[in-house]
Amino acid sequence: MAKPIAIDLSQEKATQIVQEAMQQFDLEVDLLINNAASYIYAPFEQSELLKNHQMIMLNVVAMVDLTDAFIPAMLARGTGAILNVGAQGAFSPMPYLSVYAATKAFILWFSEALWVEYRDRGIRVMALCPGATRTPLLIPLRVFSFHSFIHNTRKVKEGYSGSHFGAIQSSPHPAFADANAPLFKLAQRGWG
């Protein structure tokens, strides 16, 4: 049974509050979906340091902390799944989104390492790396076509279905698919 827990994951000790709420409701985590994210679109020198720190706390630290909090119980049960939502920004630098892209690269490599560590111990780990996806976070940029939003939203739903755990899911923006075909083919590999 899912229970919503409203908390600002960019703040210190957020994971501790989540764990306390889980204990209060007597809930276990079978599937951890780390999907929270923020970004700053600006030249690096114009982005506020505090906002960059908050983005790193949300996009990286909260994901690591939540994963650390729930893996022991998954290991004890011998089963569980972790879905970390990255982005196409994980595969190449993104001017004006430099810190965001770096956090997404961290998500990708962290997920791949965990996949190797836990694949024989009953925990499935996947990094889902969609392209532009129609969300309130991205729409204000107005840089992608409606078609690409539909295409990538479908890919995100497919990734969430759980049928592809153990592979990195990547869906390039149609404008970049041909130019970066070898890169995206590599990104779609499975580990075994």
Domain boundaries, the chain: 30-187
Tell me whether residue 31 is exposed, middle or buried, using C-beta atoms within 10 angstroms of its C-beta: 0 to 12, 13 to 18, 19 or more.
middle
CA 2, 136, 36: angle at the middle one, nearest 5? 45
Cα–Cα nearest to 155, from 188, 125, 180, 179: 188
Fold of 30-187: Rossmann fold (3.40.50)
Reported pTM: 0.74
Q: N- to C-terminal Cα distance for the chain?
A: 32
**96, 100, 118, 160: which is the annotated catalytic residue?**
100
**Residue segments in the chain with a per-residue pLDDT below the cut of 50:** 146-150, 163, 167, 169-192
- pLDDT attached to residue 176: 41
100 catalytically annotated: yes
- pLDDT attached to residue 140: 57
